[in-house]
């Protein structure tokens, strides 16, 4: 069993994941033998799929009174999963355990995720799992499968102490945020106006450049535009003094770039935005600086005698700034960009300097948080100090890391509150823009994306479709506004913080950098897209379930392009059905059963839910009355496009309130 290639002839149907690092597809009812080991889907539990990781997203405190425990299994493999938990400081031996039935909280293509939420449990937990399949009944603890319990409590899984300092806590306002990402050079010079004129000014004797004429004053003068759209937070790309128009090659961290304006203009902008209910997040570039930054200037001038020689990474002396962009410099850079030398963020003096920068803008200008550039390339110690500095000044300031990959390492409560969720964009690209995956695969991927984090973190993820670093999503859709609208509707109804890149609401497109950073198209006549964005944002901000509610998949079948899901709280349930296909589809009874039933309550058993639904109508008919779509029974159609009876048109959607 060294190589999965030798089993290619086995048809797909069941995933076998081995600790040796390969994947096999094993259909139900098929067995095979390899190196003396027989696998039979009918007769054994798929133990290789079982996963539990203590002190992670699989076992964590949501607050001091609640603990969440999860276990992963192969999809459809278990018939029951029971958590047994006890006090690890229990004075009796063996420990007295309490049993709690676990429920499937999510499923992706290959796995079921079981979850139990313990209310007011012991502060110190030890626990194990009881796993049942059609033919097996085993216990699982200490990463071992066992036939019986033991007296030695140290052999069980442990949550040593649900300490308040270890509980992930993100700013309360994050769940309610809808962020507008502004690339300042490209946005506005004045009210609904961008000059598109390049500029050159001086900062401390060094030239700084602008390309399109955007300013801080221009951002401020368009506060009413942002309010009309429904935005309640902005994230602004770098605004500090720097050489190039993008401002990622910094000269100074305490002054606004002269091409954009002054510190005082920025202060007034923040005050104005706060007065209008809009929070302000700015971009922090601490992985690297510009090669005219004072400390780098000093090492170029003084070499090994410079007091700043340890501020940078892998310097070779003498330090030479190569004029030829094809030459690799004798120092570490951001990527291979010679004008952006990498800072040694493990140096205590560098840490101290940038913690002062952090606190300066929070304290003096009352910003609401930082988006942190190239966050994954900076050492953890720097970020832990930065977080401590930020929270000392403003406890509810948000820290958003630029992490393109899985971000669980940075989201354990000790570093960031959120990360730029490029996986969200990737999965939406495959399903909505390209149509290269079906609803089942899409649901599996977004489910996996949710389950890799603690619940608190999921609601603070920055869900983006595009940014200043990637092609516009409308271009990925081939200019198809129907596909684009479906992706935006999903973005606004999925857990996490939606992020709108400037001009998305005006249909801006672009594949290359100059295109997707193009001038804001203030003169474009409204073609319905701005109204669509405004309505989806209003939908999100109106319904608590879309911001705070649990997520549950209702319909995501293999080979289908129909995707339906619910967002629900104790008192409110919103159902969204999206047809991303080119043919009409009938909404299945699972969707109509939901819209004609009462919201599920946390902790209610699946049997009780089923009994409740059986007592309610099994279908609900859509009707038009006075121009307003509604459903018989308990549901209301909040918004629909292409819904006729039970049929949903190609690229259509329906949003129900049940």
CATH of the domain at 68: 2.60.40.10
- Pair 538, 555 in one domain: no
**Strand 233-236 with 179-182, pairing:** parallel
591 lies in which domain range? Answer: 545-657
Whether 73 and 48 have beta carbons less than 8 Å apart is answered as no
Question: Is residue 523 in some structural domain?
Answer: yes
- Pair 250, 359 in one domain: yes
Question: Is residue 627 in some structural domain?
Answer: yes
Question: Is residue 457 in some structural domain?
Answer: yes
In angstroms, the CA 339 to CA 246 distance is: 13
The torsion angles phi and psi of 401, rounded to 5 degrees, stand at: -90, 140
Handedness of CA 504, 506, 509, 514 (dihedral sign): negative
Question: Is residue 50 in some structural domain?
Answer: no
Does 402 participate in catalysis according to the annotation?
yes
Q: What is the DSSP string of 109-163?
A: SSEEEEEEEEES--SSEEEEEEEE-SS-EEEEETTEEESS--S-GGGSEEE----
Question: What confidence score (pLDDT) does residue 42 get?
Answer: 58
The helix-helix angle for 380-393 and 348-365 (nearest 10°) equals 30
Select which of 57, 402, 509, 568 is catalytic.
402
- Final residue belonging to a domain, choices 298, 313, 344: 344
Those residues with Cβ within 8 angstroms of residue 332's Cβ, 6 or more apart along the chain or in another chain: 312, 313, 314, 341, 342
Question: Is residue 255 in some structural domain?
Answer: yes
- Final residue belonging to a domain, choices 166, 187, 203: 166
- Pair 137, 264 in one domain: no
- Pair 366, 444 in one domain: yes
Select which of 373, 423, 438, 594 is catalytic.
373
Question: Given the structure tokens 């003396």, which residue do they identify?
Answer: 36
Question: What confidence score (pLDDT) does residue 4 get?
Answer: 35
Question: Given the structure tokens 């690297």, which residue do they identify?
Answer: 288
In angstroms, the CA 291 to CA 333 distance is: 10
- Pair 59, 207 in one domain: no
CATH of the domain at 317: 3.90.400.10
Spans of the chain below 50 pLDDT: 1-39, 598-633
Q: Tell me the pLDDT tens digit for each residue of 310-335.
A: 999 999 999 999 999 888 999 999 99
Q: What is the pTM of this model?
A: 0.89
DSSP 8: T
Question: What confidence score (pLDDT) does residue 522 get?
Answer: 98
Question: What confidence score (pLDDT) does residue 595 get?
Answer: 73
Question: Is residue 102 in some structural domain?
Answer: yes
Question: What confidence score (pLDDT) does residue 609 get?
Answer: 34
Question: What confidence score (pLDDT) does residue 590 get?
Answer: 86
Question: Is residue 49 in some structural domain?
Answer: no
Whether 360 and 254 have beta carbons less than 8 Å apart is answered as yes
In angstroms, the CA 413 to CA 264 distance is: 34
The total number of structural domains in the chain stands at 5
- Pair 616, 554 in one domain: yes
CATH of the domain at 632: 2.60.40.1180
- Pair 472, 620 in one domain: no
Question: What confidence score (pLDDT) does residue 461 get?
Answer: 98
- Pair 549, 506 in one domain: no
- Pair 282, 308 in one domain: no
Query: With 0-12 CB in 10 A as exposed, 13-18 as middle and 19+ as buried, what is 602?
Result: exposed
Does 87 participate in catalysis according to the annotation?
no
Which contacts qualify for 195-201: CB closer than 8 Å, 24 or more apart? 196/519, 199/259, 200/259, 201/258, 201/259
> How many C-beta atoms surround the C-beta of residue 223 within 10 A?
19
Locate all alpha helices (DSSP H) within 232-320, ordered by sequence.
263-275, 294-302
In angstroms, the CA 243 to CA 230 distance is: 34
Q: Tell me the pLDDT tens digit for each residue of 41-70.
A: 555 899 999 999 999 999 999 999 999 999
- Final residue belonging to a domain, choices 136, 166, 196: 166
- Pair 60, 88 in one domain: yes
- Pair 354, 424 in one domain: yes
Q: How much of the chain, in percent, has pLDDT values that exceed 70? A: 88
- Pair 94, 162 in one domain: yes
Question: Given the structure tokens 């390899």, which residue do they identify?
Answer: 34
Question: Is residue 283 in some structural domain?
Answer: yes
Question: What confidence score (pLDDT) does residue 37 get?
Answer: 42
Is the backbone peptide bond immediately before 397 cis, with ω within 30 degrees of 0?
no
């Amino acid at each position: 069993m060294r190589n999965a290639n030798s089993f290619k002839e086995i048809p797909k149907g069941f995933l076998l994941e081995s600790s040796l690092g390969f994947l096999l597809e094993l259909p139900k009812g098929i067995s095979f033998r390899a190196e003396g080991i027989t696998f039979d889907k009918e007769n054994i539990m798929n133990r290789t799929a079982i996963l539990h990781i203590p002190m992670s997203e699989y076992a964590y405190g949501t607050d001091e009174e609640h603990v969440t425990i999860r276990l992963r299994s192969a999809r459809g493999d278990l018939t029951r999963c029971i958590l047994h938990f006890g006090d690890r400081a229990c004075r009796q031996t063996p420990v007295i355990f309490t049993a709690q039935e676990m429920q499937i909280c999510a499923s992706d293509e290959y796995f079921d995720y079981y979850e139990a939420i313990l209310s007011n449990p012991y502060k110190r937990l030890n626990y194990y799992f009881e796993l049942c399949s059609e033919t097996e009944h085993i216990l699982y603890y200490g990463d071992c499968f066992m036939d019986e319990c033991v007296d030695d409590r140290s052999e069980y899984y442990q949550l040593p102490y649900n300490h308040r300092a270890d509980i992930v806590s993100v700013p309360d306002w994050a769940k309610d945020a809808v962020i507008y990402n502004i690339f300042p050079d490209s946005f506005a010079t004045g009210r609904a106006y961008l000059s598109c004129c390049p500029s050159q000014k001086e900062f401390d004797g060094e030239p700084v450049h602008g390309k399109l004429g955007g300013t801080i004053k221009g951002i401020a003068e368009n506060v009413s535009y942002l309010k009309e759209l429904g935005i309640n937070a902005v994230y602004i790309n770098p605004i500090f003094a720097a050489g190039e128009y993008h401002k990622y090659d910094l000269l100074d961290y305490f002054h606004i770039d002269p091409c954009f304006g002054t510190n005082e203009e920025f202060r007034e902008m923040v005050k104005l935005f706060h007065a209008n209910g809009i929070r302000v997040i700015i971009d922090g570039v601490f992985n690297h600086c510009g090669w005219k930054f004072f400390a780098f200037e000093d090492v170029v001038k003084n070499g090994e005698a410079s007091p700043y020689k340890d501020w940078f990474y892998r310097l070779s002396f003498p330090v030479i700034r190569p004029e030829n962009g094809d030459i690799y410099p004798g120092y570490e850079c951001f990527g291979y960009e010679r004008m952006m030398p990498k800072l040694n963020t493990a140096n205590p003096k560098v840490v101290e300097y940038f913690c002062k920068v952090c606190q300066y803008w929070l304290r003096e200008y009352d910003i609401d948080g930082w988006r942190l550039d190239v966050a994954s390339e900076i050492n953890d110690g720097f970020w832990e100090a930065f977080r401590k500095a930020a929270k000392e000044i403003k406890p509810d300031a948000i820290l958003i890391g630029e992490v393109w990959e899985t971000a669980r390492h940075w989201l354990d409560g000790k570093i960031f509150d959120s990360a730029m969720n490029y996986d969200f964009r990737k999965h939406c690209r495959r399903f909505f823009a390209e149509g290269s995956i079906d609803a089942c695969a899409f649901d599996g991927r977004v489910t996996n994306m949710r389950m890799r984090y603690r619940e608190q973190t999921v609601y603070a993820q920055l869900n983006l479709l595009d940014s200043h670093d990637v092609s516009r999503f409308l271009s990925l859709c081939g200019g198809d506004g129907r596909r684009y609208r479906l992706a935006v509707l999903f973005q606004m109804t999925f857990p996490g913080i939606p992020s709108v890149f400037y001009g998305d609401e005006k249909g801006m497109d672009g594949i290359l950098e100059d295109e997707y950073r193009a001038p804001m198209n203030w003169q474009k006549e409204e073609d319905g897209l701005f109204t669509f964005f405004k309505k989806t944002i209003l939908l999100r901000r109106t319904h608590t379930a879309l911001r705070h509610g649990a997520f549950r998949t209702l319909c995501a079948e293999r080979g289908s392009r129909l995707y339906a899901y619910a967002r629900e709280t104790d008192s409110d349930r919103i159902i969204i059905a999206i047809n991303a296909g080119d043919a009409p589809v009938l909404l299945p009874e699972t969707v109509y059963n939901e819209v004609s039933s009462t919201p599920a309550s946390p902790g209610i058993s699946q049997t009780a839910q089923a009994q409740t639904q059986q007592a309610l109508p099994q279908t609900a008919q859509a009707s038009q009355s006075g121009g307003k779509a509604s459903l018989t029974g308990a549901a209301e159609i909040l918004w629909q496009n292409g819904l006729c009876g039970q049929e949903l048109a190609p690229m259509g959607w329906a949003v129900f309130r049940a």
